[in-house]
Structure 1
C-alpha cells in the first residue's frame, strides 16, 4: 500500500513538471480533486468571460470530525456529499494567472445518524441545504492545471434547519 501511494505521488509530481504550451482556458472544462469539507472529485465548467459551474462529489463530515452533535443525537461517520455552485470569477492580475471567485448553490448529504430513540443503532439521514463559497484559483504559466483554495458555509434546510457547517477546501484541477 505504501509503495502504491509513493508511485502515484511521484507520477503526479512528474506530470505537473512537464511543460505544456497551452494557456489556462476559462471557457472549458476542468477536472480534479478537492481536499476539505467536502472532499472528493471536483468538476468545473467555465463559460462566458466570468461565469462557471462547480460540482463536488465526495465525502462529508471527515475534516471536522466524524462524531458531531446533530439534532437530538449524533453523527458518527463520514457520509456522501454532492455540492454544486454557480460562480462569478474575475482576474486579480493583469496576466489573469490569479482569479478570485464566489458563488451560491446547494448541497445534499447523507450520513449515519444515531438518535437516542434507537439505543445505539443508526438510521441514514439525508440532508439538504444551501451553500456559499469564495476562493482563489492560481493558473501557472504554460501549464494545463490550476490550484485553488476556498472557504464557505453550508446552511441546512432539511432535516435540521439552520444547522451550519464550514466548507473549506484546497485542490488541483486539470484544465482542458
Structure 2
C-alpha cells in the first residue's frame, strides 16, 4: 500500500510538471485504476493506431483470493500488459475516440497449492509467472485543450501458461496526459 501511494504521488507530480510544458506529441502517460492498476504509457501512430503499455498490479480490484489451478491466488501481483490498438473518432468528434485491440499480459503472483496448505509460511506458496493474450476495447475523451484525456476500458485476459484458457476480466478507467 505504501508503494502504491508513493507511485501515485510521483505520477501526480510528474503530470503537474508536464501540464505546464505539455504539447501533443503523440505520446501519453497516465494512471489507470482497475484490472490492472498502474502506470499507462501510450504511443499514437498515424492517427489510426497506438501501442499501449501498462505496468502495475493485478488481482487487487476483482479479487486477490481466487481459485486457480488446484489451489488459490491469495494476493496482489505484478502485471505487465501491452496492446496494439486501433482508434477512431466517434460521431465526427475529435474529442471522443473508440479504441480496440489485442495484446499480451505477464503476471507474477503467489500461488497457494492445495497440497502445500499444511506447510508453514513461506513454504506454503510458490511464485507463479503466467502469460496470456488479452483483448481490449474502450472510450477515450480528450478535454478541449487536447492534453488531458479520461478513459474507460474493458476486455479479457486469456491465459496460455500456467493454466490454459483461464479467463480474467480486465476493466479499468483512468487519465492520461499527452506529452
TM-score by length of 1: 0.85
Whether contact under 8 Å (1:21, 1:142) holds in the other structure is no
Distance 2:29 2:169 in 1: 23
Following superposition, the deviation at residue 119 of structure 1 comes to: 2.4
Alignment equivalent of 1:38, drawn from 30, 36, 39 = 36
Conserved in 1, the CA contact under 8 Å of 2:69 and 2:163?
Answer: yes
Please point out which of 140, 146, 165 is paired with 2:168: 165
Q: 1:64 offset after TM fit, Å?
A: 1.1
Q: Following TM superposition, by how much is the alpha carbon of 1:116 offset from its aligned partner in structure 2, in angstroms?
A: 1.6
31 and 93 in structure 1: CA distance in 2 versus 1, 3 angstrom threshold = same
Instruction: Report how many aligned residue pairs link the two structures.
Output: 165
Q: CA deviation at 1:90?
A: 0.2
| 2:121 corresponds to | none
Taking the aligned partners of 2:170 and 2:40, their CA distance within structure 1 comes to: 14
Match of 2:58 among 60, 71, 79: 60
> Is this contact kept in 2: 1:42–1:57, CA < 8 A?
yes
Question: What is the rounded CA distance, in whole Å, between the counterparts of 1:152 and 1:111 in structure 2?
Answer: 20
Q: How many angstroms apart in 2 are the aligned matches of 1:20 and 1:123?
A: 46
- In structure 2, relative to structure 1, the CA distance for the partners of 1:98 and 1:19 (3 Å cut) is farther
* Residue number in structure 2 paired with 1:137: 140
Aligned to 1:100: 98
Render the CA deviation track for 1:138-169: whole Å, top value 9, x for unaligned. 00111411001000000000000000000000
Over 3 Å off, 4+ runs: 18-22
Structure 2 regions of 5+ residues with no counterpart? Answer: 119-123
Q: In terms of mean alpha carbon deviation, does 27-36 or 74-83 score higher? A: 27-36
- Which among 47, 71, 74 is matched to residue 72 of structure 2? 74
Aligned-residue Cα RMSD (Å) equals 2.5
Rounded to whole Å, the distance in 2 between the matches of 1:66 and 1:29 is 32
Q: CA deviation at 1:135?
A: 0.2
Gaps of 5+ in 1: none
